[in-house]
Structures are given as C-alpha cells and as structure tokens.
Chain A
Amino acid sequence: GENVEQHPSTLSVQEGDSAVIKCTYSDSASNYFPWYKQELGKRPQLIIDIRSNVGEKKDQRIAVTLNKTAKHFSLHITETQPEDSAVYFCAASIRGANNLFFGTGTRLTVIP
C-alpha cells in the first residue's frame, strides 16, 4: 500500500509569517492529495486538495504544490493567524481507490 511521510511533526511561527508542511508518498499511482485541518477535540476537515494533473492550487492564504517526479507535495499557509493553530494532515489516494493514506500530522502553533 501507499506510505505517506509528513514533516515537521511540530511547527511554531509568529503571527503573519508563513508556514510550510511537507509530505512524501511512495506509490506513483497516487493521484489525489488532500490536506485536512483538525482543531483540538474536533473532527478533521478538508481545507484544500490537489489532483495529479495539476502542479499548484491556491485558495486565499492556502496553497498546495505537487511534484509528481519527486513524489512530494507541500502545504503553504501565508500571513498566518492564531486561528490557523491546529494539527494538519496530508493524505494520498491511489487512482481508482477511495482509501486515503494519512501522514502522521503536523501540530502548527501560531504565536500572537
């Protein structure tokens, strides 16, 4: 099956700075890469996703980039705010399957 690795496990940034979280995947057949945000005690919620036919996708302060050759993808959050503090999970899904393989998560803390 797919193996997704995520780094760093914790990340602290000053409010207004940017944050970058990186993931690698192992199976070249993976073609869907979502990012989920999980606030303390809450359920994971999708914040952005990208498919393998696209190299970059943006949604306001959030962007995701995908490098299929290197099998890695990254989440970029600009102008961070305290409400961005949460655990972020990357995931990958193999073409033709519904299953998601998750990374181990990054705890982001935005310091006011």
Chain B
Amino acid sequence: NAGVTQTPKFQVLKTGQSMTLQCAQDMNHNSMYWYRQDPGMGLRLIYYSASEGTTDKGEVPNGYNVSRLNKREFSLRLESAAPSQTSVYFCASSGLPGQGSNEQFFGPGTRLTVL
C-alpha cells in the first residue's frame, strides 16, 4: 500500500517548456487534488477532481491543466512553463466511498524550478 505517489521528485525546466506531473493513489479515494506550496503562502489549490470524470478549478488554476485519467491517477500539465510556476507541487487524495471523510493524504511532492 503505497498511498499517494508522485513523479518526478525534482524537475528543472526552461521558460516555455511543457511538462506533466503524475500522481497516483491506491486507497480507492474518490477525490484528488493538486496544490502548490510557496514560502509564506501555505498550500494553494490549483485544481481538484471530486470524482472520476470531473475536474474543477481551485484558487490558482491559470497556466495549468489537469486530467483525471481514472480513479487512481490525476495528472497536472504545464503547457508553457513560467518562472512564477517555480514551486513545490503536492498531490493529495481523500474520500473513501460512503464514508464522507474529509482527511486528505498527501504525496511526497515535486520540486519544480523554471529558469
């Protein structure tokens, strides 16, 4: 039982390059989330997926797209990376079917630097 996993752990991009961050969970959770964490700003929600087949914008969606590939996987794509997207990105999941639990379980994070 690996919980929430993310790849890659580290990435350096040049301005304008694209990349996809991968996230997977093996806890049969319904909901998945992508956050970014910047110094002094806490965790800010980029996008979330309340259930398989649905996605919605969070607080800071500009410059990002997401795909809920199936119940296990939720990817985050940067189409044209900008230095302002330098951050640590966390994926999280929550919500066992029928249990209404709000607890979110986080992945280990991806440290992204855009030059």
A residues neighboring B (CB under 8 Å): 1, 6, 9, 32, 34, 42-46, 49, 89, 93, 98-105
Contacts and interface: CB of A to CB of B under 8 A. Distances in A.
Contact of A99 (B45, B107, B108, B109): B45
A93 B107 CA distance: 20
B91 to A, nearest CB: 10
A20 B104 CA distance: 23
A45 B106 CA distance: 7
A44 B106 contact: yes
Contact of B50 (A43, A46, A98): A98
A102 B94 CA distance: 16
Interface of B is mostly: loop
B90 interface: yes
B102 A104 contact: no
Interface of B: 31, 33, 40-45, 48, 50, 58-59, 90, 94-95, 102-104, 106-109
Contacts of B94: 98
Nearest to B90: A43
Contacts of B58: 99
B95 A89 contact: no
Contacts of B109: 43
B62 to A, nearest CB: 16
Contacts of A98: 31, 33, 48, 50, 94-95, 102
